Amino acid sequence: MPGKRHDIRLTNLAVGYGGTPVVSDVNVTLPGGKITVILGGSGCGKSTLIKHILRLHDPLSGAIHIGPHNIMELTRRQWACLKLRLGLLFQDGALLGSLTLGDNVALPLREHTRLKPREAYELAVSKLALVGLEKFAHLYPNQLSGGMRKRAGLARAMVMDPAVLFCDEPTSGLDPINSAELDQLLLELKERFDITVVVVSHDLASMRTIADHVVVLGEGRVLFDGSRDELEATRDDYLRRFLDRLAQERTAPRLSTSRLDPSLLKMDCSELWEQVQE
Ligand SMILES: Nc1ncnc2c1ncn2[C@@H]1O[C@H](COP(=O)(O)OP(=O)(O)OP(=O)(O)O)[C@@H](O)[C@H]1O
Ligand SMILES: [Mg+2]
């Protein structure tokens, strides 16, 4: 692949499952060497879009280009090669619990390169250093905090020197300080390695820190595609509500739900139940 800056071009794209579209009429370019943040309400199809770009599902129609390649037209072998250059940070880091951090990060190297195990491990530790975790390479994922697991996931996503890095909700579940640190890491990785970064997020603070480009999904389509400044200046009502975090008016009554009858419990807790309820 020439260079590292890969635009991702989505043309007349419709994505969904079982023939039913989740998002249609997608005509956007995620610019190479920049961070694009994909925003939108829960269930609007952000992860679905990413999964289709990674060819985990086939589009219902339209084309996806990564750099010069129409990914649906690549042979299996060409796609397998290209996919090695696409890093993915899953929501929970998706580390294997039975492996140490070092071995987790070394795994793609062991699978896809001819490096000796020791060399793979050393390279993995150097990637852990990128995210400040080199001293923790011998620990298992359950010995780490959520924020550390995310950073380790990022090290693993970076281990094959990707041209494009996809991050699905990288800051979800993190406190504001950890989120801000992760944002800084993404900015540093973009600058240092000149990669294209695509971040799915709900996190407006994060979007305001890292986004060069923003795509907002909703109502089964692209509601916005442009720079962060253009988004901030929008007068569109839905987008303003989204940006200003205004609640949508609900028509359904809230908080009316049936209560659990303690006599249904297998243990007799009725006395304690009453006390606790008072
Ligand atoms: N594998 C699947 N098969 C069928 N439908 C799916 C599948 N995955 C997701 N969907 C549906 O597609 C729609 C979009 O889901 P998606 O996970 O892309 O939303 P999202 O924007 O990422 O939401 P969130 O912010 O909550 O992660 C939802 O209605 C969901 O039920
Ligand atoms: Mg999602």
What does the pLDDT look like over 39-95, one tens digit per residue? 998 899 999 999 999 999 999 999 999 999 999 999 999 999 999 999 999 776 688
**Site residues for ligand 1, CB cut-off 6 Å:** 17, 22, 40, 42-48
pLDDT at 146: 85
CA 12 – ligand 1 centroid, Å: 20
C-alpha distances out from residue 210 to 125, 141, 149, Å: 26, 27, 21
- Decide if 89 contacts 157 (C-beta within 8 A): yes
pLDDT of residue 176: 86
- pLDDT class for 266, splitting at 50, 70, 90? confident
Q: What mean pLDDT do residues 114-132 have? A: 93
List phi, psi (to 5°) of 150. -60, -45
The string of pLDDT tens digits covering residues 94-116 is 889 999 999 999 999 999 999 99
* DSSP secondary structure code for residue 32 in this structure: T
- The pLDDT value recorded for residue 72 is 94
Q: What is the pLDDT of residue 62?
A: 97
Cβ pair 114, 162 in contact under 8 A:
no
Q: What is the best residue among 13, 22, 56, 216 to mutate for testing ligand 1's pocket, by most ligand atoms within 8 Å of CB?
A: 22
Where is average pLDDT lowest: 31-40, 147-156, 189-198, 242-251?
242-251
Distance 45 CA to ligand 1 centre (A): 5
Backbone angles phi, psi at 117, to 5 degrees: -50, -40
pTM value is 0.88
Q: What is the pLDDT of residue 274?
A: 74
Query: Which residues fall inside 5 Å of ion ligand 2, going by CB?
Result: 47
Q: Report angle CA 143, 165, 99 to the nearest 5 degrees.
A: 25
Please give the distance, rounded to the nearest whole angstrom, from the Cα atom of residue 109 to the centre of ligand 2: 27
Residue 70 Cα to ligand 2 midpoint, Å, equals 24
* Homologous superfamily of the 8-85+163-277 domain (CATH): P-loop containing nucleotide triphosphate hydrolases (3.40.50.300)
Q: Residue 251's pLDDT is what?
A: 59
Element (H, E) at 177: helix 176-193
Q: C-alpha distances in angstroms, 127 versus 159, 188, 259?
A: 6, 13, 51
With tokens 């250093």, the residue in question is: 129
pLDDT bucket at 156, cuts 50 / 70 / 90:
very high
Q: How far is CA 8 from CA 88, 96, 143, 241, in A?
A: 15, 30, 37, 28
Helix (H) or strand (E) holding 83: helix 76-84
Closest CA to ligand 1's atom 4:
17
Atom of ligand 1 lying closest to residue 41 CA = 25
Query: Which H or E element spans position 247?
Result: none
- For ligand 2, the distance from its centroid to the CA atom of residue 168, given in whole angstroms, is 7
Q: What is the mean pLDDT of the chain?
A: 89
Q: Are 141 and 152 in contact (CB under 8 A)?
A: yes
Residue 191 CA to ligand 2 centre (angstroms): 26
- Which residues in the chain are classed under CATH 3.40.50.300? 8-85+163-277
Q: Which of 15, 17, 242 to mutate to test the pocket of ligand 1 (most atoms within 8 A of CB)?
A: 17
Instruction: Indicate whether 32 pLDDT > 90.
Output: yes
- Number of neighbouring beta carbons within 10 Å of residue 273: 15
